[in-house]
Structure 1
Amino acid sequence: MSSYSPQPGPQQSSGMAELRLVLLGRAESGKSAAGNAVLGREEFQTEGDNTDTVTQECEKRRATVAGRQVAVVDTPDWFSSQRPPEEVAHQLSTCAALAAPGPHAFLLCVAVDQPAELELRALGPLEEVFGRGAVRSRTLVLFTHSERLAQSGEGADGLENYIVTRRADLLQLVEKCGDRFHGGAEGEEGEEGEERSIRELLEKVEQMVEEAGSGHYTSSLFQQAEARVRQRQEEILQERRGGEEEEHWEEEEWDRTREEAERRAGDLQLDTVPSFWLSPSTAPPSFLRSVWETLAAWLRSVVKFVRGGALLGGVVRVLVGGPVGGIVGATVGSVVTEVGKRKHVKKQ
């Protein structure tokens, strides 16, 4: 694993008016606490506040950090939850709208003392939704709960040495994210330690942006989101100005409606919803139910029933795997084909 050392003063050359960060990770990975650490104040509720504060909706907060404007988007757990596909799609759409026209970085929050199997499995779906290059060129692994290593004595030789010598899963995760990682965004001892850690994190993010050479990250999803946000801005201003045309709007009015438009624009129609919720540790009934819910959503877009039945059966076999996957896949394929035939007969 190569060392990723920030160069001094990248903010002077990046020319970014606002640094947009999207926090990703499973529940209790420390996403919200990391977001609070970046912003320098308690903006997001954390699991330490009470037992009902696990993030349920995407939220965006802004602050001036180390002399620059930073926006942080906190997200729910898409990795191992049992959320219905429609809800996951809504949350992904909301995230895209809040981060439009595109984030400068995705911060993948990973508890350093936990297995990273789910995170490794999620990298493919992340690029499926956010676009090719989202992981390799724009994701930084943010290791959280690093204080637990100090308490156990396992991190005595430093975080990087711990990852290289003891945690092949974390090493693989970092390598897939372009060898970018940071530890201690929430957990540094003392206020000065935490501030120093945040400065280093932002420097690493800005260096990543410099190396990408394209300002903020973008893809078809974020382009759609930005178009929808602008459409919502126009609608809001027309409502407030009695249908007045755009040429009469003041720039300040346009800027003031941006946040409201972002909140209203989370209704994009996603082509695919990745199966973050399909976890190997999920109990069989919940697992099969979530598979069926996913397939039911896809069925609405199937046009040719025979071909669709075979396709869906194959998808199930891949998702479930093993002998069970073969049985379930064959069953689903047969059912879909038979249903399609009956519908076809009725239409005749």
Structure 2
Amino acid sequence: MSASASQSELRLVVLGRPGAGKRSAVCTILGLQDTEQGTDAPGPQECSKHRGEAAGRQVVVVSSPPWFGSGCNPEEQRKHISSFIALSSPGPHVFLLCVPVNQPADGEMKALAVLSKLFGPSAVRSHTLVLFTYIDELEEDENLEEYLTTWRKDLLELVGRCGDRYHTLEARGGEPGDGTTVEGLLEKVEQAVRENGAQHLSCPLYQEAEERVRKRQVELVRQRRGEGLDDSPSEENMTEEEMEAEREEAERSVGDLNVDIDDIFPRTSVASAPSFLRSLWEKLMSWIYWLPTLVRREALLGSLVGLFVGGPFGGMLGTTVGSVATEVGRRKTEKTK
């Protein structure tokens, strides 16, 4: 890759939990066909890199498996981290963190903490944009901003940590507006780039990766020419076209970087047991976010009351509250018709 090409393209790294909609996001950005809209392929995954044109701009999109979750062992985490760093070297302009609106944000908060440990606080504050997915899970008359403000303070906090940058590529109710287009997304990316002084993310890990990639490029060109390798290969007498041709292979052949997995993902033999109330609350919130289309909020209100009051009286009170709230909501809806 020539220096001019590297500077003119936008490099995006797409991250997210399993099923967060990374595959759909990548296909939407690059205008590709996606036979599994809104889903991620099951089973073991590798980091992938795609180059193309989007909204008149040259873009590189790197998608990575969910290495920041508890499902990866240390070897897989080191492998995936090293891979996506090499593929997005010399550094991404923005991380796109795919966040389902119908899920609690605890996993994404952990992802931001890991990014900060890996690349420094500016990776989150200045180089991360929240990309909301599963917008169709919202109620028909509810827009994303209203939903975040009214119901999801946890997601608002997530957005705040990312410099108040967020977007969605999913349109509701017809044609996409400015807030849901690929062009709108890239404008926000470019705005972040301008605020960062037209700089991509740079840190010791990315500098190490770029040094390894450039060295491997030279070795591959020498092998193709049939030249012998010396102890200190240089780029002298090598054309940009030759270096460009070997770039991707060089990126994929970079081994494990110097990533201290134990420091980022500390392994403890005995986990501290959360309090009963905290554990109960986390399970309840997870249940609420998983089932937004199956249970109305009025019923959830009744369930909450019954749960925290407890006993037969709590069950009766919760049922009554849920029924009253449902009836009030029904009458309000009829009145507005």
Query: TM-score by structure 2 length?
Result: 0.71
- Residue in 2 that maps onto 1:182: 167
Instruction: Tell me, yes or no, if structure 1 residue 113 matches structure 2 residue 64.
Output: no
Give the letter aligned to residue 170 of structure 1: L
Instruction: Give the deviation of 1:87 after TM superposition.
Output: 1.1
Which of 216, 220, 223 aligns to 2:200? It is: 216
- Residue in 2 that maps onto 1:25: 16
Which of 321, 325, 342 aligns to 2:272? It is: 321
Give the letter aligned to residue 131 of structure 2: L
* Maintained 8 Å contact 1:104/1:209: yes
* Maintained 8 Å contact 2:85/2:206: yes
Alignment of 1:235-254 (within 5 A): 235-243=219-227, 246-254=235-243
- Distance change >3 Å, CA 227–CA 180, structure 1 → 2: same
Which of 239, 245, 252 aligns to 1:263? It is: 252
- Residue in 2 that maps onto 1:60: 49
SS at match of 1:140: strand
* Maintained 8 Å contact 1:229/1:262: yes
- Distance change >3 Å, CA 164–CA 100, structure 1 → 2: same
Which of 112, 127, 130 aligns to 1:141? It is: 130
* Maintained 8 Å contact 1:233/1:254: yes
Instruction: Give the deviation of 1:165 after TM superposition.
Output: 1.1
Mapped to 1, the partners of 2:197 and 2:68 lie a distance apart of 30
* Maintained 8 Å contact 1:188/1:197: no
Range with bigger deviation, 124-133 or 186-195: 186-195
Alignment of 1:304-315 (within 5 A): none
- Residue in 2 that maps onto 1:172: 157
- In structure 2, the gaps of 5 or more residues are 1-5, 229-233, 276-337
Instruction: Give the deviation of 1:266 after TM superposition.
Output: 4.0
- In structure 1, the gaps of 5 or more residues are 1-14, 277-293, 296-314, 325-348
Mapped to 1, the partners of 2:202 and 2:37 lie a distance apart of 29
Aligned length: 265
* Maintained 8 Å contact 1:21/1:72: yes
SS at match of 1:63: strand
- Distance change >3 Å, CA 194–CA 208, structure 1 → 2: closer
Q: Whose RCO is larger (CA < 8 A, sep 6+)?
A: 1
* Maintained 8 Å contact 1:125/1:274: no
Instruction: Give the deviation of 1:275 after TM superposition.
Output: 6.0
- Distance change >3 Å, CA 29–CA 275, structure 1 → 2: farther
* Maintained 8 Å contact 2:91/2:201: yes
Query: TM-score by structure 1 length?
Result: 0.69
Residue identity over aligned pairs, in percent, reads 48
* Maintained 8 Å contact 2:90/2:210: yes
- Residue in 1 that maps onto 2:290: none
- Distance change >3 Å, CA 243–CA 176, structure 1 → 2: same
SS at match of 1:248: coil
Range with bigger deviation, 133-142 or 248-257: 248-257
Which of 167, 182, 185 aligns to 1:198? It is: 182
Alignment of 1:284-295 (within 5 A): 295=267
Alignment of 1:27-106 (within 5 A): 27-42=18-33, 48=39, 53=42, 56-106=45-95
Instruction: Give the deviation of 1:174 after TM superposition.
Output: 0.6
* Maintained 8 Å contact 2:20/2:39: no
Q: What's the RMSD between the two structures over aligned residues?
A: 2.8
Give the letter aligned to residue 29 of structure 1: A
